[in-house]
Amino acid sequence: MTIVLPVKAKANTQLLADRVAFVTAAGSGIGRAGAIALAQCGAHVVVTDLDGKLAAEVAAEIVSEGHKATSKQLDVTDDDALKIAIDNTITRFGRLDILHSHAGIQIEGTLEQVSPEGMDASWALNVRSHFMAARAVVGQMKKQGGGSIIITSSNSGVQFDREMIAYATTKHAVVAMTRQMATDYAKHNIRFNTLCPGFVDTPFNAGFEVQMGGRPALEDYIKQNIPMGRWATVDEISDAIVFLASDMSSFMTGHALVVDGGECI
C-alpha cells in the first residue's frame, strides 16, 4: 500500500483572533501540536506542562513564529496549582475562551496486571484532572457568554482494547463525563467535546511498544490493524483541535470526535 501523507493547509490567522486558550500537557506530542496550531490561528495560548522546560520551549517557538504564547510549569494532578494557573490566566487576560485539557496516562494490563495504584493514577489523570480543569473555567465562560472545552480521551474511549483495563475504563468515563457537562452547560453556550485520537506517533506509545514486543512489532500492528495502514500525524490531530476550539464547530457539543484512520469502525 502506498502511504500518502497530507500537506498541512495554511492556518487562518484570524480564526481565533482575540481568544485566549489554556492547554495542558502541551510540551510534547499532540498537546504541543495543538497549542502551536491554536496560536497560528490567532489565539494567545497559555502552554502548560508537567515539564516546565518543554512548555517554555513550545511557547518560545510560537513567539518566534510571530504568534502569542506564555508558558507555565503545571502538574494537572495538583488541584491548587491547576486552579491558580487558570485563575491567573483569567485575571491577566480578562477572559478564557478555549480549554484543551489534554494530559493523560496509559497503564497497560489486565485486571490482574494493573495495580490498584495504577488504576487510581489513571483515574486521577484521565478523569479527575479534566473535572478540576473544567470546573475552574466554567464560571468565567458563563460570565463572558460561552467557550469551548476540549478534553482529550482516545478512540479507547469509544471502543475496547485488549489488556488495557485502566486506560479503556477511564477514557470511556471521560467521554461520559464530557457528555454530561455538555448537557448541563449548553444553555450557557459552553461547548464540551472529547478528542478521540487513534495511534499518533509520539512518546506516549512507549509503554504499548514494550507491550507489543518492540518497534517492528508495533509498526506491523499499525499496518495490519489501522484501515488506513499508518499512524496519524500530530497535524491531523491538531486540525481537529482547531475545529473543536473554533466557531467551525459552533453547534457541536457532547461529541466524541474520533480521528483514528478507521481503527474503531
Binding residues among 56-95 for ligand NAD as defined by CB under 6 A: 74-77
What are the angstrom distances between the C-alpha of 237 and each of 1, 76, 241, 243?
A: 23, 22, 6, 10
Measure the CA–CA gap between 184 and 54, rounded to whole angstroms. Answer: 35
Nearer to ligand NAD, 153 or 253 (CB): 153
**Binding of ligand NAD at residue 238 (CB under 6 A)?**
no
**Nearest partner of 185 among 127, 253, 121, judged by Cα:** 253
Binding residues among 194-213 for ligand NAD as defined by CB under 6 A: 197, 199-200, 202-205
Task: Give the binding range for ligand NAD (CB under 6 A) out of 56-64, 103-111, 211-219, 251-259.
Answer: 103-111
10 by DSSP, 3-state: which?
coil
Nearer to ligand NAD, 10 or 162 (CB): 162
- Kindly tell me which residue out of 21, 96, 103, 244 binds ligand NAD, with binding defined by CB under 6 A: 103
Bridge partners (DSSP) of residue 22 are: 46, 99
**Grid cell 481537529 — which residue?**
240
Measure the CA–CA gap between 66 and 75, rounded to whole angstroms. Answer: 28
Bridge partners (DSSP) of residue 190 are: 147
Long-range contacts of 175-181 (CB under 8 A, 24+ apart): 175/256, 177/127, 177/130, 177/131, 177/151, 178/130, 178/149, 178/151, 178/153, 178/254, 178/256, 179/254, 179/256, 181/134, 181/149
Nearest distance from C-beta of residue 204 to ligand NAD, angstroms: 3
Nearer to ligand NAD, 77 or 144 (CB): 77
Nearest distance from C-beta of residue 53 to ligand NAD, angstroms: 10
Question: By rule CB under 6 A, what string of x and - marks binding of each residue 24-53 to ligand NAD?
Answer: xx-xxxxx-----------------xxx--
Identify the active-site residue in 22, 167, 185, 199. 167
Binding residues among 140-159 for ligand NAD as defined by CB under 6 A: 152, 154
Nearer to ligand NAD, 190 or 241 (CB): 241
Nearer to ligand NAD, 171 or 191 (CB): 171
What single letter denotes the amino acid at residue 25? A
Nearer to ligand NAD, 97 or 260 (CB): 260
How many of the chain's residues bind ligand NAD (CB under 6 A)?
Answer: 29
The C-alpha cell at 217 is 512489532
Measure the CA–CA gap between 34 and 229, rounded to whole angstroms. Answer: 23
Q: Are strands 98-101 and 20-23 parallel, antiparallel or unpaired?
A: parallel
221 is catalytic: no
Nearest distance from C-beta of residue 182 to ligand NAD, angstroms: 19
Nearest distance from C-beta of residue 125 to ligand NAD, angstroms: 6
Footprint of ligand NAD (CB under 6 A): 24-25, 27-31, 49-51, 54, 74-77, 102-104, 106, 125, 152, 154, 197, 199-200, 202-205
Active site residues: 167
